């Protein structure tokens, strides 16, 4: 089996001196503040997925209509979303990971990049051949290919500037994440938690693609870039001490310990901290890996220049349910108990929303954001550990089917990122309302082969709902909620037939957007949750809704293309109910509502309505 070779193979242990990155840092920090652009996966470093644009608002959103569309020519799951910089949009696709640069004026293709990748990487991608988007910096567009090759493309021409291979697919390593650029480095992760890989986060020089540093999720302190005397335990607010990861694994199990890094990254320029999370430990059968299995399921705050871990917090020690911790870390400034705090908020797969001080990691609030969560009754605020419910534990129950666990392995929320509005102070969270039966089984490790050790069945959760905005008939598998992270309260809930697998977008116009697995792009009132607009796109939506402004008009765009974990049955043609790690049976009815596709749909207001809103903007600014 032959995969892409590393064009900078001799750079993997490079200790090249740090270049002057002041201009690069300043340029991107300033560029991401201009709401006409959408320069990174979340719009801004803080992960809020919030736009200051308000031409589209709660009064006129009902008059939205499609403006133009673009077919990617690729089927399977279209996660992520477009970048917009100036007069150009950049889109990536699922495997084979095409990249398109589109002219916003003519909608013509400026350039296209289509890599050659070995299709044998497809079987090792556990949950569809998705790609979660591109990154921009220093005149380059960065693509993380499925075969782990990180590619830098010239922003204007699409010419390959450099390539660096980040992993080894023959060992089960692949890639689906969106990179992020901070100062003079681009950061990327690794997938393969179901193949017994050892997760890591890696920084490469933007200029030449040489490796700057790599921080593993498990193992010896020096390889994890942990300083036992300086890296802080977020709960105890004391140094973690020596060899905390090694002591939490039996023997050398940490070498196949998982903790992959396929999720989203955020950054605080003032604190100069990079935030991300790690995934499940190797093998889903917890009986085979005694201990806390550190540092899988962990939030890390790192120095982006050196990679040194400043603080960390493990949410689900000794994970028994595949509750990856890779979901986005959203940075906000809010009051808690009357005191202004710099916060990081994380909606974890395990069903709990964590609010922490982002400078120190101090745990401030930890509450369920789906009341159906039952594997733990709560979080012990003194220890930071979940209060487990024995009935739903899978440890020590090899070949026993544990039933009725909520949430299912895909979590109360998977990768689909939430948004936050500074105007309302609320988070808008796309959620899964799905439970499961979980039967662990013994599994042996073989490099490059599945290392799961569990059979899972998924189904809709209980039908209780907090503050619903409308009636819903039948069983629901999703809810879109407004959440107060300072108190842990659900303010209102929009019921949905299937999981809400798209990323949310909040705007200064008091409109929140999201997509559904059936394919509807929806606009709702940020204050009430009332539906303002709905349009059915050609395929199910698992992409993230983004917005930008061009030639005086605000636009909203989203990729549709069913797939991802929820849609893996349709995307990969699977029929066994237990296939797709249990998702095929759980989402078997999805085929009755949508079909495969790969289309960008762009929405805007009619010229007369946009002009009126533009006039109002100018009056308000005076």
Strand partners, 311: 232, 301
Q: Got the DSSP string for 217-269?
A: SSS-HHHHT--TTTSEETTTTEE--TTTTGGGSSTTGGGG-B----S--EEET
DSSP SS3 for 550: strand
Strand partners, 51: 507
Q: Got the DSSP string for 442-472?
A: -----TTS----EEEEEEE-----SSBSS--
Rounded-to-integer distance, Cα 547 and Cα 107, Å: 16
Q: Between vectors from CA 166 to CA 161 and to CA 167, what angle results, nearest 5°? A: 145
Rounded-to-integer distance, Cα 176 and Cα 319, Å: 22
Identify the CA nearest to 129 among candidates 137, 138, 120, 141.
120
Cβ proximity of 6 and 166 under 8 Å? no
Rounded-to-integer distance, Cα 38 and Cα 534, Å: 23
Handedness of CA 493, 495, 498, 502 (dihedral sign): negative
Cβ proximity of 577 and 597 under 8 Å? no
What residues are annotated to the active site? 322
Token pair 């242990």 is found at 13
Instruction: Classify strands 339-347 and 352-357 as parallel, antiparallel or unpaired.
Output: antiparallel
Instruction: Classify strands 520-525 and 553-560 as parallel, antiparallel or unpaired.
Output: unpaired
Hey, what are 94's tokens?
A: 């699922």
Instruction: Classify strands 419-421 and 426-432 as parallel, antiparallel or unpaired.
Output: antiparallel
CB within 8 Å of 308: residues ≥ 6 apart:
225, 226, 227, 230, 231, 302
Query: Taking the CB of residue 168, how many other CB atoms lie within 10 A of it?
Result: 17
Main-chain dihedrals φ then ψ at residue 70, nearest 5 degrees: -150, 125
Q: What is the 3-state secondary structure (H, E, C) of 164-197?
A: EECCCHHHCCECCCCCEEECCEEEECCECHHHCC
Cβ proximity of 295 and 217 under 8 Å? yes
Residues present in the chain in total:
622
Rounded-to-integer distance, Cα 224 and Cα 204, Å: 16
Q: Verify cis geometry, omega within 30 degrees of 0, for the bond prior to 295.
A: yes
Rounded-to-integer distance, Cα 37 and Cα 94, Å: 23
Rounded-to-integer distance, Cα 194 and Cα 465, Å: 33
Furthest CA-CA distance within the chain: 69
Token pair 């005086």 is found at 552
DSSP SS3 for 487: coil
Q: Got the DSSP string for 287-326?
A: GGS-S--TTSSEEEEE-TTT--EEEEEESSTT-SS-----
């Amino acid at each position: 089996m032959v995969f892409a070779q590393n064009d900078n193979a001799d750079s993997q242990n490079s200790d090249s001196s740090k270049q002057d990155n002041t201009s690069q840092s300043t340029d991107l920090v300033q560029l991401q503040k201009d709401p006409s652009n959408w320069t990174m996966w979340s719009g801004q470093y803080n992960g809020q997925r919030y736009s200051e644009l308000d031409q589209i608002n709660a009064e006129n959103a009902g008059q939205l209509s499609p403006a133009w569309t673009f077919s990617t020519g690729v089927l399977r799951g279209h996660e992520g979303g477009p970048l917009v910089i100036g007069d150009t949009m950049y889109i990536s696709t699922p495997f084979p990971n095409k990249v398109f640069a589109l002219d916003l004026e003519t909608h013509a293709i400026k350039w296209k990049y289509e890599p050659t990748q070995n299709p044998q990487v497809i079987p090792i991608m556990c949950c569809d051949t998705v790609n979660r988007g591109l990154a921009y910096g220093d005149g380059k567009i960065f693509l993380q290919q499925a075969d782990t090759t990180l590619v830098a493309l010239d922003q204007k021409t699409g010419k390959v500037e450099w390539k660096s291979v980040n992993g080894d697919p023959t060992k089960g390593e692949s890639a689906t994440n969106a990179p992020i650029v901070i100062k003079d480095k681009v950061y990327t992760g690794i997938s393969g938690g179901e193949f017994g890989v050892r997760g890591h986060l890696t920084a490469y020089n933007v200029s030449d693609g040489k490796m700057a540093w790599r921080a593993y999720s498990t193992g010896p302190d020096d390889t994890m870039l942990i300083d036992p005397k300086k890296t802080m335990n977020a709960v105890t607010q004391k140094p973690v001490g020596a060899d905390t990861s090694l002591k939490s694994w039996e023997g050398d199990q940490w070498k196949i310990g998982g903790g992959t890094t396929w999720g989203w990254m955020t950054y605080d320029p003032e604190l100069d901290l990079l935030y991300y999370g790690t995934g499940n430990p190797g093998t889903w059968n917890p009986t085979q890996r005694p201990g806390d299995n550190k540092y899988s399921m962990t939030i890390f705050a790192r120095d982006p220049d050196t990679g040194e871990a400043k603080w960390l917090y493990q949410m689900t020690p000794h994970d028994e349910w595949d509750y990856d911790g890779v979901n986005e870390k959203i940075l906000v400034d809010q009051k808690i108990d009357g005191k202004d705090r710099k916060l990081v908020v994380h909606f974890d797969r395990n069903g709990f929303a964590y609010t922490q001080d982002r400078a120190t990691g101090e745990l401030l609030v930890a509450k369920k954001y789906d009341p159906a969560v039952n594997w733990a009754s709560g979080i012990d605020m003194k220890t930071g550990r979940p209060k487990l419910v024995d009935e739903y534990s899978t440890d020590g129950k090899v070949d026993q089917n544990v039933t009725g666990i909520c949430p299912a392995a895909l979590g109360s929320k998977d990768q689909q990122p939430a948004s936050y509005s500074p105007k309302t102070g609320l988070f808008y969270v796309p959620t899964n309302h799905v439970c499961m039966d979980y039967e662990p089984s013994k599994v042996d490790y073989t490099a490059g082969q599945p290392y799961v050790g569990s059979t899972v069945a998924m189904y809709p959760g209980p039908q209780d709902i907090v503050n619903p905005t409308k009636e819903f008939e039948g069983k629901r598998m999703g809810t879109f909620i407004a959440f107060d992270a300072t108190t842990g309260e659900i303010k209102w809930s929009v019921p949905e037939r299937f999981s809400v697998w798209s990323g949310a977008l909040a705007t200064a116009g008091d409109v929140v957007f999201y997509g559904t697995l059936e394919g509807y792009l929806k606009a709702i009132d940020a204050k009430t949750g009332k539906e303002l607009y709905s349009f059915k796109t050609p395929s199910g939506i698992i992409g993230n809704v983004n917005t930008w402004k061009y030639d005086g008009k605000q636009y909203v765009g989203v990729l549709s293309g069913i797939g991802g974990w929820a849609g893996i049955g349709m995307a990969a043609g699977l029929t066994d109910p237990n296939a797709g790690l249990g998702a095929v049976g759980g989402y078997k009815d999805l085929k009755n509502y949508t079909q495969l596709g790969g289309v960008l749909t762009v929405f805007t207001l009619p010229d007369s309505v946009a002009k009126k809103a533009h006039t109002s903007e100018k009056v308000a600014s005076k």
